[in-house]
Structure 1
Amino acid sequence: MKFTYGRYYDGPDPLAPPVDLRDALDAIGRDVMDGRSPRSALEELLRRGTRNSAGLDELTRKLWEKRSQIQRRHNLDGTLQQVRQLLDEAVQLEKTALFPDPDDDARFREAQLDALPSGTAAAVRELAEYDWRSPEAREKYQEIRNLLGQELMESRFQGMKQTLENMTPEDTERIRQMMADLNELLLSHLRGDDTTQQFQDFMRKHGEFFPENPRNTEELIDTLAARAAAAQRMMNSMSEQQRAELSELMSSAFGDPRLAQQVSTLDANLRALRPGEDWTGSGRFRGNQPLGMGEGAQAMADLAELDALAEQLAQSYPGARLEDIDLEALERQLGEDARVDARRLAELEQQLRQQGLLERAPDGSLRLSPKALRRLGQTALKDVLNAARASGQRDSTLAGASGEPTGSTRPWEFGDTSSWDTSRTIRNAVLRSGPGPVTLDVVDVEVVETEQRSRAAVALCVDTSWSMVQDGRWVPMKRTALALHQLITTRFRGDALQLITFGRHAQPVELPELVGLEGVWEQGTNLHHALLLAARHLRKHSDAQPVVLVVTDGEPTAHLEPDGEALFDYPTTPRTMRKTLAEVDALAKLGASVSVFMLGEDPKLEAFVDMVARRSGGRVIAPDLDGLGAAVVGDYLRTRRAR
């Protein structure tokens, strides 16, 4: 058996590495915690790209770079230059053939050639009836007609130029007949007739001229109109003199003026059928590499395709999706790597949705799912542990946790559910049995001794005043809450965690709310209200060990009045200070010490937090932003074990 191997085209590459959702989710999570919406965070990720894929911005940059190169390198007078060169060669060959001839007719012909108009089109037209003496000169002149015909057809039908090389009169007539049948088909369609059978007959007869293999009249019109509009934009981009010269030359295409008339009729029909195409646009070409009519039309088509791709990559229109990007067009313009990058970005967006990492809120907005928050929490906790190790702290998430072995054993008692210490149990059986057969008895069993398992009620109060945003403490605060939440929900599931935010007011929040919380300009640091809510949480869990953690960068400047109104004063008033410290004392009566994580170096804040620590038996910790998470998690574990 023989096997053929080639590029895989039927869908995504089955051997391509899977998209890295963890890195993508981390990037989205960072932006969301920084105040972006999940939708804008996803859009920003797609614009930036990932470690393995260029983003939409980079692909767009490459598109504009290619667009600039096309216009900077080329000019549009290639056909005029070629015709001029062939004309000069034909005239020179003819003069060379006339020079040895002494008769008057030869001198008259030389005079005719010397008196040719300076304009290329006028000279070609004047030589249309000239009786060439030189066969080589006659061939050169015929080349002009063939070149003009090839360029004219190539400007309207892509790939036609190669097909029309070495044209015969029969080929010219076949093309003219195709054009006549095509215009008849388009006119019928324009009148609203059913052209299904007429289209099928046309394709059977002339399908060789249409490698795109359109399936119906509409597809045929789409293909032809796009090419004709590109040719018109090319003509619009020329100087007025160049445009007039080229238009006049086209009447000599293949030496048959009827062909140019058919092309003119075709353009008129296509304009009527597709008025939405860009028939009036133009471009500025300022390079020194000449393009012929066909190449110029292709350049204009490329520019239009590049513009369309740039719009698709911008994703700025309503209902935009990455699936809208024309991957085949992108590969044509930028190569296979660009297609792969765009496809990976589309797959990334799809996978984020399909795997439940992004979901729709009841109001229709996009939000991070609980699964996504768990993954972000895992990353945040991992970062916290790495920061703790880097600072020389011991990894305390496993050591000494309640319910774990202490290293000692004790005899088993009825109803004991602790794990057996197998080696100690067998040793006891051997010693008791003596030299005879070893038998196991209940008195031999020893069990592993563990610390008493206990619950904790944890209140994490985080400052959400504007200074936290302004001084770059917003994201570290959120990552700290994520890490603590992840630790408690995975390692200490019996603990009850309450997240409390406080600005002008305080409020209990769920983790998704805190992660998506945006910074708002609001004056006031109402720690009094936050401690009230913390005390309420601790009373709900009176059987648990109380743990209160406060993250703040400013002394309290607001308190809650009995009517529920938050009263703000700056600088801090004695009344605000008294009410806040009263709540610290109330927490101390509940057995809770308040650990304060002080951000910043405000002397007034230092004095206040020292007072809180003395009155509650708590601690003051002044971590840098990178160490905030490690400090909070470490203090939670220390406080928990101490109880």
Structure 2
Amino acid sequence: MSYRYGPWHDGPDPLAPPVDLRAALEALGRDVMEGASPRAALQELLRRGAGDQAGLDDLTRRLWERRSRIQRRHRLDGTLTEVKRLLEQALAAERTELFPDPADDARFREAQLDALPSGTAAAVRELANYDWRSPAAREAYEQIREKLGKDLVESRFQGMKQALREMQPQDTERIREMMADLNALLLAHLRGEDTDERFDQFMRDHGEFFPENPRTVQELVDALAARAAAAQRMMNSMSAQQRQELGELMAGAFGDPRFADQVATLDANLRALRPDEDWTSSARFRGQDPLGLGEGAQAMADLAELDALAEQLGQSYPGARLEDIDLEALNRQLGDEAGVDARRLSELERELRRQGLLDRAPDGSLTLSPKAMRRLGEAALAEVVGSARASRGERDTANAGASGELTGSTRAWTFGATEPWDVARTVRNAVLRTLSVGEGSVRLDVTDVEVSETEQRARAAVALCVDTSWSMVQDGRWVPMKRTALALHHLVSTRFRADELQLITFGRHAATVDIAELTALEGTWEQGTNLHHALLLAGRHLRRNPDAHPVVLIVTDGEPTAHLDPDGEAVFHYPTTEDTLRRTLAEVDSLARLGASVTVFMLGEDPKLAAFVDLLAKRGGGRVVAPDLDGLGSAVVSDYLRTRRR
């Protein structure tokens, strides 16, 4: 095989690492379990980023830092400062030339120079017809006119900066003709005339002044209006005195008042064509680096672009999407790395949707898909198993059960698996893979192999009762409780499929929920720990599965403070009453008669809770486990496995 290598010009970066959906999904799941909606969790993920991936907040921070740097470092009087310097240079050279001359004409000229107005603009205007004796003075004065002309043109035409640097004196008339033709074109467009042919002719005649290469009149107007509005905002940001002086100076641009008239006409046409541009705002500059008219207009354009990017990154407007971000503008302002970060965030969002990890409900809201729930459960179980190995020396087993009997189910082979191959499914996988890639002969690949699952024939009916009272949220036990339920649910649904798991939540009331409901459950301010109701529902679940070994697991951080009356009303009282304790223990006795193994996972160190759970364990023939929050999941899963083995 031979390979050819060439430069990479555009498209996805072939060397970019793949999008890390695991970290993203884990972050999504964590926020959802803490009570955020999937949509809000996705927005938070994009703002915060995932793993080493920078988020929208980081990009926005860098935008504001750049904006602040522009305003802190610069001031807008660069043109005025330079004109004043050139004027002083011209006057000094002229006085040096006149001083040795004893003639009356020399004294008269000195008197003229001494009588010049104090203002820079007025002095420049007064000297328009002065016959300079010094060649150096005449050159400095001509530089003023050239400087004013170039700055005036550059402030309105962003792409002409390089052309103006190389401009010759004879080019001045060509620029004036271009501006006259441009104003005629814009005026015709403003009147609603068909200007397509006129635009094409204009670009043929003057296209070298527009390296942006606009393709239509609309594109031309958009580019010119944005630049003209930036120049106007720069003028708005100056003091009244600076604006007045600059306006007077511009009348002498290139020594031809027609330039200033053409620019004024251009601004009026563009303002009429694009009234929605920002022509009125201003910004405060407080630095020491002076900017000329062209540089100042570019600074104002940069500020406007930074503001627009900040709005795009904020994603706070209706219908906002990451595809709205102007990557070219982001590259200009923050560099190519920022564009890569924004593109990867967009890919992350797109991949989450493409791989089916987010579903859209009938009401338009986002939900975590069953596939996402499986991924979250898988991650939670892996974390629990890792914790159990580290703390107890136990190891994960390749067999789903103890006796190794075939269940009829299969799974993909993983390194270290010792179960027998399912030959039929392995060959089928190889055939399908070969056909999909168009190969001629069937070859087995390690990815084709499936092994037969085994499990113990005995079934278990498991009721996991989790406390959802406000104290679980308040004391930081909410997410560990949900991750524990996720891990146990994933273990049962993938390794012990014959078992029946029922998830039961209990606060003021108890309720049976599926894993998606529990994951998205929000903490609410509701007093009451109604373990009595939860045990009633657990007993109902065990009675529906009389042929299964009954297992009840309880996660709680408080003694029961509520019970269910025969009429279905929840009765709450704190501190707990004898009636609540009596009814709760009666349900424990009922579960014991069913042969249930009751294990209580006690969170916290409340002495009253400890006394109650000890009593409950003695009455139910179970035991009490007091794990820390990090060990809750491994404790629950380990107890479930211990009960099954027993």
Q: With the length of structure 1 as denominator, give the TM-score of the two structures.
A: 0.90
How far residue 137 of structure 1 moved from its aligned partner, in angstroms, is 2.0
Residue 567 of structure 1 aligns to a residue in which SS? strand
CA–CA distance in 1 between the matches of 2:609 and 2:53?
47
Whichever residue aligns with residue 207 of structure 2, its letter is G
TM-aligned CA distance change 1:96 to 1:514, over 3 Å: same
CA–CA distance in 1 between the matches of 2:160 and 2:168?
15
Match of residue 551 from structure 2:
547
CA–CA distance in 2 between the matches of 1:467 and 1:269?
67
Match of residue 459 from structure 2:
455
CA–CA distance in 1 between the matches of 2:241 and 2:620?
91
Match of residue 283 from structure 1:
283
CA–CA distance in 1 between the matches of 2:588 and 2:631?
25
Residue 600 of structure 2 aligns to a residue in which SS? strand
CA–CA distance in 2 between the matches of 1:517 and 1:346?
28
| Preserved CA contact (<8 Å) 2:400 2:496 | no
Whichever residue aligns with residue 598 of structure 1, its letter is M
CA-to-partner distance for each residue in 1:283-304, whole Å, 9 max, x for gaps? 1111111100000000000011
Residue 551 of structure 1 aligns to a residue in which SS? strand
CA–CA distance in 2 between the matches of 1:223 and 1:167?
22
**Structure 1 position 495 matched with structure 2 position 508:** no
Match of residue 145 from structure 2:
145
How far residue 579 of structure 1 moved from its aligned partner, in angstroms, is 1.8
CA–CA distance in 1 between the matches of 2:329 and 2:464?
53
Whichever residue aligns with residue 88 of structure 1, its letter is E
| Preserved CA contact (<8 Å) 2:230 2:297 | yes
How far residue 398 of structure 1 moved from its aligned partner, in angstroms, is 5.0
CA-to-partner distance for each residue in 1:101-144, whole Å, 9 max, x for gaps? 33211221122122222211111111110112222322221111
TM-aligned CA distance change 1:595 to 1:224, over 3 Å: same
Match of residue 567 from structure 2:
563
Match of residue 338 from structure 1:
338
Match of residue 535 from structure 2:
531
CA-to-partner distance for each residue in 1:436-476, whole Å, 9 max, x for gaps? xxxxxxxxxxxxxx995211111101010111111111001
CA–CA distance in 2 between the matches of 1:119 and 1:395?
88
The equivalent position to 1:580 in structure 2, one of 584, 609, 615, is 584
CA–CA distance in 2 between the matches of 1:521 and 1:615?
32
| Preserved CA contact (<8 Å) 1:466 1:523 | yes
TM-aligned CA distance change 1:332 to 1:239, over 3 Å: same
How far residue 26 of structure 1 moved from its aligned partner, in angstroms, is 0.7
TM-aligned CA distance change 1:4 to 1:492, over 3 Å: closer
Runs (4+) of structure 1 exceeding 3 A deviation are 3-6, 165-170, 396-401
CA–CA distance in 2 between the matches of 1:354 and 1:322?
15
CA–CA distance in 1 between the matches of 2:494 and 2:327?
43
CA-to-partner distance for each residue in 1:540-564, whole Å, 9 max, x for gaps? 2111111111111111111222222
Match of residue 595 from structure 1:
599
How far residue 568 of structure 1 moved from its aligned partner, in angstroms, is 1.5
TM-aligned CA distance change 1:28 to 1:215, over 3 Å: same
CA–CA distance in 2 between the matches of 1:321 and 1:161?
35
How far residue 217 of structure 1 moved from its aligned partner, in angstroms, is 1.1
Match of residue 606 from structure 1:
610
Whichever residue aligns with residue 509 of structure 1, its letter is V
CA-to-partner distance for each residue in 1:155-192, whole Å, 9 max, x for gaps? 00013233124644542221111111111111111112
Whichever residue aligns with residue 561 of structure 1, its letter is D
TM-aligned CA distance change 1:53 to 1:497, over 3 Å: same
Aligned ranges 1:89-488 → 2 under 5 Å: 89-165=89-165, 167-395=167-395, 397-398=397-398, 401-404=401-404, 453-488=457-492
Residue 458 of structure 1 aligns to a residue in which SS? strand
CA–CA distance in 2 between the matches of 1:175 and 1:118?
32
Q: Alignment identity in percent?
A: 75
Match of residue 81 from structure 1:
81
Higher mean C-alpha displacement, 173-182 vs 291-300? 173-182
Whichever residue aligns with residue 353 of structure 1, its letter is R
| Preserved CA contact (<8 Å) 1:556 1:577 | yes
TM-aligned CA distance change 1:4 to 1:636, over 3 Å: closer
How far residue 96 of structure 1 moved from its aligned partner, in angstroms, is 2.5
CA–CA distance in 2 between the matches of 1:198 and 1:4?
45
Match of residue 60 from structure 2:
60
| Preserved CA contact (<8 Å) 1:190 1:273 | yes
How far residue 342 of structure 1 moved from its aligned partner, in angstroms, is 0.9
TM-aligned CA distance change 1:4 to 1:517, over 3 Å: closer
Match of residue 28 from structure 1:
28
CA–CA distance in 1 between the matches of 2:21 and 2:470?
32
CA–CA distance in 2 between the matches of 1:105 and 1:529?
114
CA–CA distance in 1 between the matches of 2:319 and 2:576?
51
Residue 535 of structure 1 aligns to a residue in which SS? helix
CA–CA distance in 1 between the matches of 2:230 and 2:40?
36
| Preserved CA contact (<8 Å) 1:396 1:637 | no
Whichever residue aligns with residue 474 of structure 1, its letter is W
CA–CA distance in 1 between the matches of 2:479 and 2:105?
95
How far residue 347 of structure 1 moved from its aligned partner, in angstroms, is 0.8
| Preserved CA contact (<8 Å) 1:551 1:598 | yes
Whichever residue aligns with residue 360 of structure 2, its letter is R
| Preserved CA contact (<8 Å) 1:377 1:483 | yes
Structure 1, gaps ≥5 residues long: 406-417, 421-449
CA–CA distance in 2 between the matches of 1:203 and 1:266?
17
How far residue 94 of structure 1 moved from its aligned partner, in angstroms, is 2.0
CA-to-partner distance for each residue in 1:587-643, whole Å, 9 max, x for gaps? 11211121111111222222221222112211111111111111100110111111x
TM-aligned CA distance change 1:240 to 1:614, over 3 Å: same
CA–CA distance in 2 between the matches of 1:461 and 1:10?
55
CA–CA distance in 2 between the matches of 1:328 and 1:46?
20
Match of residue 411 from structure 1:
none
Match of residue 38 from structure 1:
38
CA–CA distance in 1 between the matches of 2:574 and 2:238?
70
CA-to-partner distance for each residue in 1:425-446, whole Å, 9 max, x for gaps? xxxxxxxxxxxxxxxxxxxxxx
CA–CA distance in 1 between the matches of 2:538 and 2:396?
25
Whichever residue aligns with residue 567 of structure 1, its letter is V
How far residue 207 of structure 1 moved from its aligned partner, in angstroms, is 1.2
CA–CA distance in 1 between the matches of 2:456 and 2:95?
115
Whichever residue aligns with residue 466 of structure 1, its letter is W
CA–CA distance in 2 between the matches of 1:373 and 1:280?
52
CA-to-partner distance for each residue in 1:350-387, whole Å, 9 max, x for gaps? 11111111111222111111111111111111111122
Match of residue 519 from structure 1:
523
Whichever residue aligns with residue 17 of structure 1, its letter is P
CA–CA distance in 2 between the matches of 1:59 and 1:15?
22
CA–CA distance in 1 between the matches of 2:372 and 2:269?
56
Whichever residue aligns with residue 354 of structure 2, its letter is Q
Whichever residue aligns with residue 567 of structure 2, its letter is D
How far residue 203 of structure 1 moved from its aligned partner, in angstroms, is 1.2
Whichever residue aligns with residue 390 of structure 2, its letter is A
**Structure 1 position 509 matched with structure 2 position 513:** yes
How far residue 56 of structure 1 moved from its aligned partner, in angstroms, is 1.1
| Preserved CA contact (<8 Å) 2:188 2:195 | yes
Whichever residue aligns with residue 334 of structure 1, its letter is L
Structure 2, gaps ≥5 residues long: 406-418, 422-453
CA–CA distance in 1 between the matches of 2:78 and 2:85?
11
How far residue 36 of structure 1 moved from its aligned partner, in angstroms, is 1.2
Whichever residue aligns with residue 501 of structure 1, its letter is T
Larger Rg: 1
CA–CA distance in 2 between the matches of 1:132 and 1:70?
40
CA-to-partner distance for each residue in 1:511-532, whole Å, 9 max, x for gaps? 0000000001111111111111
| Preserved CA contact (<8 Å) 2:399 2:455 | no
How far residue 227 of structure 1 moved from its aligned partner, in angstroms, is 0.4
| Preserved CA contact (<8 Å) 2:505 2:511 | yes
